[in-house]
Amino acid sequence: MTAAELERRAESVAAGLPSLFLRAKRLAATVNAGAHGRRRPGSGDDFWQFRHSQPGDALTAIDWRQSAKSDHLYVREKEWTIAHTTRMWVDPSASMRWSQSAQYEEKYARACLLAVAVGCLLEPTGERIGLLGHPGPTLVGRTAPIRLALALLAADRDDSWPSRPVPKKGTLLLFSDFLQPLVAIEAGLKRWSAAGLSGHLLQILDPAEESLPYAGRVRLRGLESEGETLLANAASLRAEYGRAVLDHRQAVQSLARHYGWSFGLHHTDRPAREALTHLYAALARC
């Protein structure tokens, strides 16, 4: 990537950050979070670990004695303050960057909005927030949601599943259209579940992907190197297409249930608040 291309990309990411973050905060404010109940109680005094200080940590949380021994600032964590970790994966594939018209958000944009809104809800509870497959430590503190938004806006298109090492604990939230082959979806669920992780799948679809609202001669072009398909009479295939979409979703839902995960469906023509309320309730059960 040239310096000019890097500058243009940086400007594009910076331009989208305020809008995404503010929309996510407003969306989170519509959901009555209440007490999240994710922290694991302990004795209240037992030392757990030292960790590097992160942006958003209060100065009073710094352990100055430990910090004086090195070039880093350290926070002393006690067992009762250890927060749960929620990692999210927002599918950055080409199919997620699609919408049938300007009337609806792209699926990726809606997924990013929901992910950052989840971060806004979890941050006050002390929850650690991370991106599955993203390098770097989990995020904590007041700046966590905005740093999450920045990472999502900067993500490259990628049609593969996360391949980095599986985290050893926590909850996963996966945002995708889940139109991948079932074998690929099952491989991911099997790998994460074997590591002791639980989670939730939120399938995000454009309304056209459910209803095939086309008539006559239609040429469909795949977004992920699938090639083109010419339909001589699209309307005649609507019923068969609808059954195929339903069968695939039920198969994904069955896989999720088999591995102890939960599943939800969201359409981009529906209010984002509906999906966020559903997600927050799903997290409370994890």
Averaged over successive runs of 10 residues, the pLDDT of the chain (286 residues) comes to 51 62 86 50 52 75 79 69 78 88 89 92 83 76 85 81 72 93 92 88 93 75 66 74 91 96 95 92 80
What does the block give as tokens for 237?
Answer: 């295939």
- CA nearest to 220, candidates 232, 210, 204: 232
pLDDT at 15: 58
pLDDT at 44: 45
pLDDT at 112: 93
Question: What are the φ/ψ torsions at residue 75 (nearest 5 degrees)?
Answer: -110, 130
- Which residues have a Cβ under 8 Å from the Cβ of 193 and sit 6 or more positions away? 259, 260, 261
Pairing relationship of beta strands 171-176 and 47-52 according to DSSP bridges:
unpaired
Structural contact between residues 208 and 234, judged by C-beta atoms closer than 8 angstroms: no
> Rounded distance, CA 235 to CA 223, Å?
22
pLDDT at 25: 86
pLDDT at 48: 55
In CATH, the number for domain 3-37+83-285 is 3.40.50
Structural contact between residues 227 and 216, judged by C-beta atoms closer than 8 angstroms: no
The whole-model pTM stands at 0.76
pLDDT at 227: 65
Give the residue extent of every domain in the chain.
3-37+83-285, 47-81
